[in-house]
């Protein structure tokens, strides 16, 4: 397992429905926490990578604005965007900058202030994450896309609305314990199943909420990490892949091929297998997304992901605890900040600092972060 690049600091703002400050102030909340966690100052930072999806705020080229506000001039800053997977793409870039020798310490900061525009405008922008010639004009919003995935999985494998509801029940159980989550209320199976429909078979509780939030990950090369940190968490494996923008260009709707390929790459780089993972954060923008992730990541055979949730195997104490911070379904999904938040959760787990949601003895963790409707897939494997 390579131990060339480590994460030495993590931070996150609270994820909220509407943040009252500016994007620079929102970014600072996560940055301040991560810098304190790492025990460093701005002069130690070699470069910054700012991660965000465009068109949610009026500021053009926010990387320059945020770097200035965080006191990171004159160090170089970069802007990265792969929609919902932007901050894990930023981590991949940060890893590359460190491995190349260009920088020995890099800050990766993701943010999104989605409340700057209306929910209707937000949905329209998300829809334009698909092909604007052949799909988006026909009303294919995010819930509709994932509803098609759910219907395909139901038809091929016999999974059910109840299986999806069980995922949301798990999410709410752990979301209550996460003081940075938007939704901190437990729901039961009947509430989920009886909720109003959004895009059949997905109902209100099957869908994550828009949110404002920021996350920050501080990365360092091996020498620097050992010098600065008493608790580095190592990046053991990285995988990244893409798929066609249109769903018609894909062979199957029962999973996300970009996630499967990214997972294979990450496992190979780390020299690990799915059974070696102690805790995972997966991109559960919709309940069906978590179910597909079980299978895409190799935690279950294709078509058997529902067995894991039916048997409680993705709870703490189960075979593979998944999204024990509540996931996107409870935390909310501030697009550019989401992947960094997932990484933060796994880092705290591996350091034994996750409090009420700690997975006992966790040594290897995995992050699965998807951009768009399976257009971009990133998988990161982390180890103590």
pLDDT beyond 80 at 197: yes
- Domains of the chain as residue ranges with CATH: 5-118+214-231 (3.40.47.10), 142-206+235-383 (3.40.47.10)
Query: What is the average per-residue pLDDT within 167-173?
Result: 98
pLDDT recorded at residue 1? 66
What percentage of the chain carries pLDDT values higher than 70? 100
- Residues 265-295 pLDDT 10s: 999 999 999 999 999 999 999 999 999 999 9
Q: List the catalytic residues.
A: 84, 333
What percentage of the chain carries pLDDT values higher than 90? 89
**Rounded CA gap, 246 and 223, in Å?**
44
- The chain-wide mean pLDDT, for the chain, equals 96
**Rounded CA gap, 281 and 354, in Å?**
13
- Residues 140-154 pLDDT 10s: 789 999 999 999 999
CA nearest to 334, candidates 138, 113, 21: 113
- Residues 317-338 pLDDT 10s: 999 999 999 999 999 999 999 9
Query: What is the average per-residue pLDDT within 14-22?
Result: 97
pLDDT recorded at residue 119? 76
Binned at pLDDT 50, 70 and 90, residue 129 comes out as confident
Instruction: Give the Å distances, CA to CA, from 1 to 14, 236, 269, 270.
Output: 34, 6, 7, 5
Q: What is the DSSP string of 295-307?
A: HHTTSS-TT-HHH
- Residues 330-374 pLDDT 10s: 999 999 999 999 999 999 999 999 999 999 999 999 999 999 999
pLDDT recorded at residue 50? 98
pLDDT recorded at residue 180? 97
pLDDT beyond 90 at 57: no
The distance of Cα 136 from the centroid of its chain, to the nearest Å, equals 24
- Residues 214-259 pLDDT 10s: 999 999 999 999 999 999 999 999 999 999 998 888 889 999 999 9
85 near 370, Cβ under 8 Å? yes
CA nearest to 237, candidates 341, 103, 365: 365
pLDDT recorded at residue 131? 81
């Amino acid at each position: 397992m390579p131990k060339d690049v480590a994460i030495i600091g993590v931070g996150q703002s609270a994820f909220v429905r509407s943040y009252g400050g500016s994007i620079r102030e929102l970014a600072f909340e996560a940055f301040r926490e991560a810098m304190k966690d790492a025990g460093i100052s701005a002069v130690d930072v070699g470069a910054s990578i700012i991660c965000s999806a465009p068109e949610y705020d009026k500021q053009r080229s926010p990387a320059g604005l945020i770097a200035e506000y965080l006191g990171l001039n004159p160090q170089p800053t970069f802007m990265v965007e792969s929609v919902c997977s932007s901050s894990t793409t930023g981590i991949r870039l940060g890893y590359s900058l460190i491995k190349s020798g260009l920088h020995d310490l890099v800050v990766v900061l993701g943010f999104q202030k989605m409340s700057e525009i209306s929910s209707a405008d937000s949905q329209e922008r998300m829809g334009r994450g698909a092909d604007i010639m052949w799909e988006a004009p026909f009303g294919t919003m995010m819930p509709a896309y994932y509803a098609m995935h759910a219907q395909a999985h139901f038809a091929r494998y016999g999974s059910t609305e109840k299986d999806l509801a069980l995922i949301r029940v798990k999410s709410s159980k752990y979301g209550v314990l996460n003081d940075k989550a938007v939704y901190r209320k437990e729901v039961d199976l009947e509430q989920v199943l009886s909720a109003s429909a959004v895009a059949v078979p997905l109902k209100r509780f099957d869908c994550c909420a828009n949110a404002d939030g920021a996350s920050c990950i501080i990365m360092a090369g091996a020498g620097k990490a050992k010098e600065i940190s008493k608790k580095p968490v190592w990046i053991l494996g990285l995988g990244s892949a893409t798929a066609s923008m249109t769903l018609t260009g894909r062979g199957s709707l029962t999973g996300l091929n970009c996630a499967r390929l990214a997972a294979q790459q990450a496992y190979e780089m780390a020299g690990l297998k799915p059974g070696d993972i102690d805790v995972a954060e997966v991109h559960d923008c919709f309940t069906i997304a978590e179910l597909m992730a079980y299978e895409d990541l190799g935690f279950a055979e294709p078509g058997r992901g529902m067995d894991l949730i039916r048997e409680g195997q993705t709870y703490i104490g189960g075979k593979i605890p998944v999204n024990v911070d509540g996931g996107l379904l409870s935390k909310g999904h501030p697009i550019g900040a989401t992947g960094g938040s997932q990484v933060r959760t796994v880092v705290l787990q591996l350091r034994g600092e996750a409090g009420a949601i700690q997975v006992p003895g966790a040594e290897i963790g995995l992050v699965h972060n998807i951009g768009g409707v399976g257009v971009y897939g990133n998988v990161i494997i982390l180890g103590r």
